[in-house]
Amino acid sequence: MIPLKSFSAVLGALVIFCTRCCSNSIPDISCYIVNLENVNCSWNCVENLNFSYKFENGKISYCPTYKYMDVCRAGCIFPSENRYSTLSTILSNGTTQRIQTHNIQYAVKLNPPQNLTVLWNSSTGDLHLQWIISWPIVPRCVETEISYRMGERPWQGSNRLPAGVTSYTLAKVSQTKRYLFRVRHRYSTTCGESKLWSDWSEIVAWRPIKARQETDEQRFSNQTGPYLAIGLVSLVIILAVMVRFLLECERIKVILVPVAPDPTKKLNDLFHEYGGNVEGWVRISPQLRDAFDPDYTETTCEVTEIKPTV
């Protein structure tokens, strides 16, 4: 017989062990605040788990928008309330659950800077870069990091700017190189530092007018080159077809309308051998020639001009 107390102790240990094993099958959750607007929580996708959350001194809420990896739930996005309050999350599979607490005040990820523009000062040869910090972030709470690239070189070392600065000047730039800029920022120590940087902004480019013209000319040449070659080949083909067509037309003309023979070839003997004597050239017999001679004579008749009398 096992004593009742020993049996209870063993049963309690088994329950605790089973609970821990089942809890370990539920993944950990990582959360951060997105631009002070939403909270983004993620976990490894093992099965479709149910997620709920609660801010300090608040009520438990269920996930309004799940994130999916294929057809499996892998995260949740819900509205942010207060970055300085502790966040509690609950992930459950229906029988067991994992409860975690998150200190999200140091996990704020801002949206990237927007509307980057770069201007060149022709009098000083400097490039002036400026950007906008998206609402609802206050610029005085944000520190910025600048990175730029000249020509085909790698990205240069980042330059840190103090909180509240929304512009940057790169002095004495090369007039033959292209420059690329990108910017990111995060919450500074002024308003409670965050460990997370925003994503890099969209890259903005600047190149001098001469390099821009050369690039445009090269682009125009690359674009028009194939069309020019096609046009030349088409022109040669059209000319060949036209020549062929003209030759066929001339051949048809010769067949339908024969060319009149050249009489000079037939009359060469008349002028060179017979000296223009048609009778000899046509070879008229003496009898036929005598037939054309007159066989009678006519008497001479004198004619006198009568002058009029006055």
Q: Which residues pair with 66 in a beta bridge?
A: 76
Q: Identify whether the C-beta of residue 43 lies closer than 8 Å to the C-beta of residue 74.
A: yes
Per-residue pLDDT of the chain (310 residues; tens, 9 = 90+): 445 445 444 444 444 444 444 445 889 999 999 999 999 999 998 888 999 999 998 999 999 999 999 889 999 999 998 889 999 999 999 889 999 999 999 999 999 999 999 999 988 989 999 999 988 888 999 999 999 999 888 998 778 999 999 999 999 888 888 999 999 999 998 888 899 999 999 999 998 866 555 555 556 566 677 788 888 888 888 888 888 777 777 666 666 566 666 666 666 666 666 666 666 666 666 666 666 666 666 677 777 777 776 5
Q: Please give the tally of structural domains in the chain.
A: 2
CB within 8 Å of 62: residues ≥ 6 apart: 50, 51, 52
Q: Does 2 reside within a domain?
A: no
Query: pTM surpassing 0.85?
Result: no
* Residue at which a domain ends, from 211, 245, 273: 211
* Residue at which a domain ends, from 108, 125, 159: 108
pLDDT of residue 1: 46
Closest CA to 180 of 163, 199, 160, 200: 200
* Residue at which a domain ends, from 54, 83, 108: 108
**Claim to verify: residue 83 and residue 131 sit in the same structural domain:** no
**Claim to verify: residue 120 and residue 138 sit in the same structural domain:** yes
Q: Residue 205 belongs to what domain range? A: 110-211
Q: Does 92 reside within a domain?
A: yes
Tell me how far apart the alpha carbons of residues 146 and 180 are, in angstroms, rounded to a whole number: 11
Q: Does 42 reside within a domain?
A: yes
The residue with tokens 């002070």 is: 36
Closest CA to 130 of 142, 117, 121, 119: 117
pLDDT of residue 180: 94
Q: CATH code at 53?
A: 2.60.40.10
Q: Does 152 reside within a domain?
A: yes
Tell me how far apart the alpha carbons of residues 212 and 139 are, in angstroms, rounded to a whole number: 34
Strand order in the sheet with 72-79: 65-69, 72-79, 38-42, 30-34, 108-109
